[in-house]
Amino acid sequence: MLSGEAMAVLKARYLREGETPEKMFWRVAEYVAEAEALYGGDRQAACQEYYAIMAGLEFLPNSPALMNAGRKQAQMAACFVLPVDDSLGDIFDTLKHAALIHQSGGGTGFSFSRLRPKGDRIAGTNGKASGPVSFLHVYDAATEVVRQGAVRRGANMAVLRVDHPDIEEFITAKRDRTVLNNFNLSVGITDAFMVAVAQDRSFALVHPRTGRTVRQVSARRLFDLMAAMAWENGEPGLFFLDTVNRANPTPHLGNFEAPNPCSEQPLLPYESCVLGSVNLAKMVAADGQHLDYDRLSVVVRRAVRFLDNIIDRNWYPLPAVAEATLRTRKIGLGIMGLADLFIMLDIPYGSKQAVLLTADIMRFITAEARRESARLAAERGPFPAYPGSIYESSIGPVRNATVTTIAPTGTISIIANCSSGIEPLFALAFSRHVLGGQVLASINPTVLAYLDKRGLLTTDVEKTIKHQGSVRNTGLPYHVKQVLATAHEIRPIWHVAQLAAAQRYTDNAVSKTVNLPHKAMPHDVARIFSLAYRSGCKGVTVYRDGSRDQQVLVQGVAA
């Protein structure tokens, strides 16, 4: 049932002593189904249903749920956001909280925008402030130490608003690739900034405490600096603050300042969120030519109840996290295996048809998930902060302030043996460096099946795929080359189109990288940034092929 890679990953971190994958899925199903008892539901039936969708690899929750369900401290959420306030005590309190979250398997996002800039006066000591970037290094060092004993590597996201006086230092902070390895950096972009860039005007950097202008900079120069750095090594990403806050379902509780580490989940301070993903590669109808929307609906509805149950069965590492999470009951259901689905349906990832299908799928999933959340509200009550939320004046009571998120699914897609999230295939054959240097090699089974079915799997083609990870240099028909195009062969605008299509029907955000060919220039990155903003994306990250020394995924498998 499970691939060799999946077994290797599970054995390394997920399975308990003597546990088989089946037992692991039972452990998770039983633990989560227990919540049904709180509401007079059928625990046994729910347990069977949850087991079936997990063991069938139709749906998997995020890693912490698989790892921690059934433990004494069953911390099952992947995503957290913590506030960082402008005092030494607050900065180190938050660092302590982050350490506890990392220890339990969660990732943390922070905004450092409230910290006073470097060189500012500190009234208490008459000294000078060291600025947000200096504290980033402290947080990074702490994460490095905690990771040794943690369930998994603690990942961090740092956001700094584009109008913070230290913004240039932040944008260039990872130029030296040896530092801040436990952090992803995103610039918090405002609409006002994007207008200033479009009009080539100057832009004010303001003191976060006093609100006074510290200096004026050229908006375009700042934008170009972000593009140049991202061109160099993929960072910083952009996080579109105003776009994100326009979609805030609970504006009465406050504004978003930061998302979780991989950017797919904007959260209010102290909120946490459990993610889960439906494997679309398992949602193809028996005729092999259509998406089975009936089955998808069944899986989505079960997954929503599963994720809502987790909120009640979860162990919260801090009282403030319990309070904030239980107030909005956000869940993040998403998809994985999208690229597999496209190949199975013979559709090129970089095509209008594929973009429309992505939008259709997410529109369907969000609508079904919302309906299930409304049913849950009728049975169990709406989320406590419902009064004052956007739902009060629209569709009425729902159990969860958000229902959908598209996660990277870095590990759970390996367990399900499908393509990750909504990404195209990075290579048709690849070696993965996972879990501390172990190398796992494989040729994509969906690709093999696709070629085999059409009688195109010659020894030559197989050899080329193994060596190059691509069919670009084969004599295969043009359409086949389009369907099997890999991430860097797909034009960057198609990546943005897919990101935007998915985002349009997703409550939270979407994790996706816009891949650029090696020969792309910094102004290409700037154009992608603008396009992503204009098409309503909540954030954007780029990666230019070969721009980092060590890539996580390496194309081709040595013969």
* Residues forming the active site: 260, 262, 264
Residue nearest to ligand UDP (CB): 107
Nearer to ligand UDP, 78 or 428 (CB): 78
Rounded least distance, CB 59 to ligand UDP, Å: 12
For ligand UDP, give the closer residue by CB, 101 or 483.
101
- Structural element, H or E, at residue 240: strand 237-240
Nearer to ligand UDP, 126 or 550 (CB): 550
Paired sense of beta strands 79-82 and 107-111, if any: parallel
Q: Report the residue number, 254 or 410, with the smaller CB distance to ligand UDP.
A: 410
Pairing of strands 183-189, 156-161: parallel
Pairwise CA distance, residues 534 & 46, whole Å: 43
For residue 21, the tally of other CB atoms under 10 A from its CB is 19
Residue 173 identity (one-letter amino acid): A
Residue with smaller CB distance to ligand UDP, 14 or 494: 14
Given the complex with ligand UDP, which of 309 and 411 has the nearer CB atom? 411
Residue 465: name the closest of 432, 441, 433, 490 by CA: 441
* Spatial separation of the C-alpha atoms in residues 22 and 14, rounded to whole Å: 12
390 HSE (CA, 13 A, CB side) = 11
Q: What is the distance between the alpha carbons of residues 69 and 62, in angstroms, rounded to a whole number?
A: 11
Nearest to 249 by CA among 386, 423, 128, 351: 386
Of the two residues 6 and 78, which places its CB atom closer to ligand UDP in the complex? 78
Residue placing its CB nearer to ligand UDP in the complex, 420 or 515: 420
Is 406:506 a contact under the CB 8 Å cutoff? Answer: yes
Three-state SS at 82: strand
- Answer for the pair 122, 209: CB distance below 8 angstroms, yes or no: no
Rounded to the nearest angstrom, the gap between the alpha carbon of residue 219 and the centroid of all alpha carbons in its chain is 28
Q: In the beta sheet, which residues pair with residue 443?
A: 429
Rounded Cα gap, residues 447 and 343, in angstroms:
7
Nearest-approach distance from CB 358 to ligand UDP, in angstroms: 18
Spatial distance between the Cα atoms of 248 and 347, rounded to a whole number of angstroms: 34
Largest Cα–Cα distance in the chain? 77
Angle CA 426–432–437, to nearest 5? 150
Smallest distance, Å, CB 154 to ligand UDP?
A: 6
Rounded-to-10 torsion of CA 180, 184, 187, 188: -130
CB of residue 58 vs ligand UDP: minimum separation in angstroms?
A: 16
Of 223 and 316, CB closest to ligand UDP:
316
Instruction: State the nearest-atom distance from the C-beta of 331 to ligand UDP, in Å.
Output: 14
DSSP state string for 20-75: -HHHHHHHHHHHHHGGGGGGT--HHHHHHHHHHHHHTTSEEE-HHHHHHTTSTT--
**Residue among 506, 103, 502, 482 at smallest CA distance from 514:** 502
Closest CA to 39 of 520, 400, 512, 377: 377
Sign of the torsion formed by the C-alpha atoms of 24, 286, 3 and 467: negative
Q: Which residue ranges make up the site for ligand UDP (CB under 6 A)?
A: 62-63, 78-79, 106-107, 152-155, 260-262, 264, 275, 407-412
